[in-house]
Amino acid sequence: MLEKKFISTIRKYSLINPKENVLVALSGGPDSVTLLYLLLKLKDKLKVNVFAAHLNHMLRGEESDRDEEFVRKLCNEWNVTLFVERRNVKEISKGKNVEAIARKERYDFLRKTLKEIGGGKIATGHTASDLVETVLLNLTKGTGIRGLRGFLPKSGNVIRPLIEITRKEIEEYTKKEKLPYVIDSSNYDKSFERNLIRLDVIPVLKKINPSLESAFLKTCETLRLLEDFLNKEVETVIHAWTEKDEIKIPLQTFKSLHPFLRREAVQKAFEQISGRKLSFKNLLDIEKLADAEGYKEIHLGSGFKAVKEDNTIKIRKEQEKPKSFSFKVTKIPTTLHTPLYTLHFAENEGEPLLPITQFKEKGITVRNRKPGDKVNLGKFHKPLKKLLMEKKIPPTLRWQIPIITSGEEIIYIPDVFKAYIKGKPFVGVKVEKRETEKTDS
């Protein structure tokens, strides 16, 4: 019965290809011993080469060494090539997040060993009972679809052939087949969250439904199928959005998507360009962006921002501050190229800037803005930043717009500010937009 189920799981999820190596992650506990035993017993039927690997995490003192000794003896008796390594997890982790580090070290060791035997699959002893624990633990801490469906029968080259077999079935089988195993005493330590779930929660739920594992298996299978469907929907949607390291979503598309799909798609697209995740608040802020009037940008943290411009939502890296510039004009006529504009200075031509006498005395400096810049509005001074915001100059342009000054005074900013009232002879400026410069490309 158990053997049949084992084979059916392997077939159902295509866990193993014929002639493949299977490396069993062997702790020495009943699950991994049963896994190794089943693979050896069905080796010819499944056409696989079976290996075992044991990492001594050195977390339980003598008990850890006893386990290592046990698996060495077992593999010797069962005639299985065993790889063993010792890593002092407590030392590596410095006491922090011991469980997570142990897991990381273990998989690192397993992957390294798999390479040594020429590739194949890593098989772990996770059972249906482990799946129930994992799902309940995730749900308790708050989770989405991924957490609710728990671990997978196959992820990459890691396979879990016992995923449809319960702990009780394993117990009965080890008894029937007289399999030896060791017990990890930390399984009873209730300072581990998982043990609380296993020892105190699941027995109560089993009073309600003795076939708890089978109920969870069904739910998880539906959720895996759902997750696959959603992934494909999301891929279809974001395919057209991402360009190297930028996301561009036409506003119309953005608004027409169902909020669920939209959030999933924005999240996935962001992961692709940044390798990071957006917070839930980030996602809500980006949604609000779509309703903003005109240009708007928000900072997403970790060096990224979302921008609404040209009927498009764009997500990209924050731009480094553009290079600062400063040009001194001492004679006219002069033509000056700044990032956004070309400026032609001449006598009595164009927009009047200042009397020629003052120009001769103090000259003109054209530069980008500096923090603290203020403009003189006659009765009071206004921070330049505020003025630029009022004039709706996009933040990306604020550091590039040319500020024309004389002495300490700001006398002219194209499209934004004009101080001088005409009176000849004056120095004037003709302003020409440089169309070739695009800031968002």
Binding-site annotation, residues: 27-32
> What is the rounded distance in angstroms from the CA atom of residue 439 to the CA atom of residue 441?
6
137 touches a copy of itself by CB under 8 A: yes
205 touches a copy of itself by CB under 8 A: yes
Q: Which is nearer to a copy of itself, 270 or 359 (CB)?
A: 270
Sign of the alpha-carbon dihedral angle for 297, 397, 319, 437: positive
Q: Which is nearer to a copy of itself, 69 or 229 (CB)?
A: 229
Task: Please report how close the Cβ of residue 202 comes to a copy of itself at its closest, in angstroms.
Answer: 9
Residue stretches of the annotated binding site for ATP:
27-32
Strand segments (E) across 33-80: 48-56
Task: Please report how close the Cβ of residue 256 comes to a copy of itself at its closest, in angstroms.
Answer: 12
Closest CA to 342 of 402, 399, 395, 288: 402
Joined together, the tokens standing for residue 177 give 């087949």
Q: How many residues are given for the chain?
A: 441
- Choose which of 219, 312, 365, 396 interacts with a copy of itself (CB under 8 A): 219
Which residues contact residue 269 at a Cβ distance below 8 angstroms, ignoring those fewer than 6 apart? 238, 241, 242, 247, 315
> What is the rounded distance in angstroms from the CA atom of residue 393 to the CA atom of residue 373?
16
Q: The tokens 């979302």 sit on which residue?
A: 306
Q: How far is CA 412 from CA 166, 316, 375, 418, in A?
A: 78, 32, 9, 5
Q: Which is nearer to a copy of itself, 288 or 360 (CB)?
A: 288
162 close to 102: Cβ distance less than 8 angstroms: no
- Choose which of 19, 66, 145, 439 interacts with a copy of itself (CB under 8 A): 145
144 touches a copy of itself by CB under 8 A: yes
171 to 200: interface string for a copy of itself, x by CB under 8 A:
----------------------x--xx--x
142 touches a copy of itself by CB under 8 A: yes
Choose the binding region for a copy of itself from 112-120, 221-229, 270-278, 304-312 (rule: CB under 8 A). 221-229
**Which residues of the shown chain bind a copy of itself in the complex (CB under 8 A)?**
135-137, 139-145, 148, 193, 196-197, 200-201, 204-205, 207-209, 212, 214-216, 218-219, 222, 225-226, 228-229, 232, 258-261
